[in-house]
């Protein structure tokens, strides 16, 4: 069963704010950060998906344009994120189920530790293409701040759906949705 949770990007910072002035500063900072994140979240349903170029763990250079005519399940994840780890078997099964269709899973890890990433791929027997973006540049272009986060990109390169948190990718309604979108 996949838990209804997610992991935040970055590290935890603990700060102490005291007094009325400190609370106003904190509120101002929160509003500024929220506005900034909203302005940079470019991957909204109906909008063109931001382009990317990456090299997969399998050694292939890929761009968004390579997936034109296909439905792309673009998943952002990390090995240090328990809900991401829990979601992997579901994505593996989805890839196996939809092999030979016009649906492709591509997962981009934000792991900074290349060895941990490679061990994870080997341990879990990942069937779908993956890439590592240690600087999280591609997720940032999409507006991703929590993991896992997935964008369903239609055959025309538009964001059809954004899913925050882990998903049961083999739910019959989800599988049918992806098949219908690929037609």
For 128-173, the pLDDT digits (tens) are 999 999 999 999 999 999 999 999 999 999 999 999 999 999 999 9
CATH number of 146's domain: 3.40.30.10
In a shared domain, residues 91 and 170: yes
**How far apart, in whole angstroms, are the C-alpha atoms of residue 159 and residue 149?**
13
Number of domains in the chain: 2
Domain assignment of residue 7, yes or no: no
For 36-66, the pLDDT digits (tens) are 444 444 789 999 999 999 999 999 999 999 9
In a shared domain, residues 20 and 59: no
Within 78-162, where are the H helices?
82-97, 114-124, 137-142
In a shared domain, residues 101 and 30: no
pLDDT band at 85 (very low <50, low <70, confident <90, very high): very high
Structure-block tokens of residue 24: 């106003």
In a shared domain, residues 26 and 83: no
Domain assignment of residue 1, yes or no: no
Domain that holds residue 24: 15-42
């Amino acid at each position: 069963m996949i838990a209804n949770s997610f992991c935040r990007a970055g590290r935890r910072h603990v700060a102490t704010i005291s007094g009325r002035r400190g609370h106003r500063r904190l509120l101002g900072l929160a509003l500024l950060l929220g506005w900034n994140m909203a302005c940079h979240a470019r991957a909204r349903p109906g909008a063109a998906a931001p382009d990317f170029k990456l090299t997969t763990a399998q050694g292939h250079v890929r761009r968004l344009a390579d997936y034109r005519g296909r439905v792309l399940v673009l998943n952002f994840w990390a090995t240090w994120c328990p809900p991401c780890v829990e979601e992997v078997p579901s994505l593996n099964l989805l890839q196996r189920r939809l092999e030979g269709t016009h649906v492709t899973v591509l997962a981009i890890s934000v792991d900074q530790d290349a060895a941990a990433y490679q061990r994870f791929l080997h341990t879990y027997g990942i069937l779908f293409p993956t890439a590592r973006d240690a600087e999280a540049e591609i997720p940032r272009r999409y507006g991703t701040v929590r993991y896992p986060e997935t964008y369903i990109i239609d055959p025309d390169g538009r964001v059809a759906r954004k899913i925050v948190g882990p998903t049961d990718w083999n739910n019959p309604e989800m599988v049918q949705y992806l098949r219908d979108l690929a037609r």
